[in-house]
Amino acid sequence: MRTHSKETQSNLTPATALQILKEGNQRFVNNLKANRNLLQQVNETSAGQFPFATILSCIDSRTSAELIFDQGLGDVFSIRIAGNILNEDILGSMEFATKIVGTKVIVILGHTKCGAIAGACNHVELGNLTTLLNKIQPAIANEKTITENRTGTNSEFVNKVTDIHVGLTIDRVRRESPIVAELEQQGSITIVGGMYDVETGLVTFFE
């Protein structure tokens, strides 16, 4: 598997970039790996990087973007934070990744059995974590289908909230970053959501 160059990055369309991630996840699920020399990629990226994707995911130890999408050094910008929440620093990182460096796709990736989502559903308060979990409350408020046991012990409720949270995060990216929104309107990038299943390793994209 070749390291991305400025030329290969520039020639990718947003749809093709997303397809690369889908194919990588299929390899991961099937316990296959692309043939790549990571040490060689260290050398090939030493003078510069040309990643094709920006992925916002959770800090959960099971959800490393490079692993679950079978990507190598220099392929993706990986932004990780509990509950894959959004703030102005993350938006700035996305603007750098897309407008300056040239990535073609932004993925907002939630995952099943998310501890941060469950904690928000349980209204956990703990130091600075309280402020982080408060950012998930809008998704909880938007979940209208489950009326009983709306807590972190209800896996169905947690997963539904996670889905909604991903969608609301995408809306916020478009609303709060005119730079990213313009790139999407121009067709230079695409923004997609997805859910990683911690039991199967499969990523389901919301398209």
Would 1 be classed as within a structural domain?
A: no
Would 148 be classed as within a structural domain?
A: yes
Q: Which residues are annotated as a binding site for Zn(2+)?
A: 58, 60, 111, 114
Residue 8 has pLDDT above 90, yes or no: no
Sign of CA dihedral 87, 78, 7, 15: negative
Please report, rounded to a whole number, the percentage of residues in the chain having pLDDT higher than 90. Answer: 86
Q: Which residues are annotated as a binding site?
A: 58, 60, 111, 114
Residue 158 has pLDDT above 80, yes or no: yes
Q: So what's the pLDDT on residue 76?
A: 96
Would 85 be classed as within a structural domain?
A: yes
Q: So what's the pLDDT on residue 100?
A: 97
Report residue 9's pLDDT band, with 50, 70 and 90 as the boundaries.
Answer: confident
Q: So what's the pLDDT on residue 7?
A: 82
Would 180 be classed as within a structural domain?
A: yes
Would 32 be classed as within a structural domain?
A: yes
Q: In CATH, what number is assigned to the domain containing residue 66?
A: 3.40.1050.10
Mean pLDDT of the chain: 95
Q: Helices (H), strands (E): how many in the chain?
A: 10, 5
Give the chain's domain count. 1
pLDDT: which is higher, 106 or 8: 106
Domain that holds residue 149: 6-206
Would 197 be classed as within a structural domain?
A: yes
Region 90-108 average pLDDT: 98
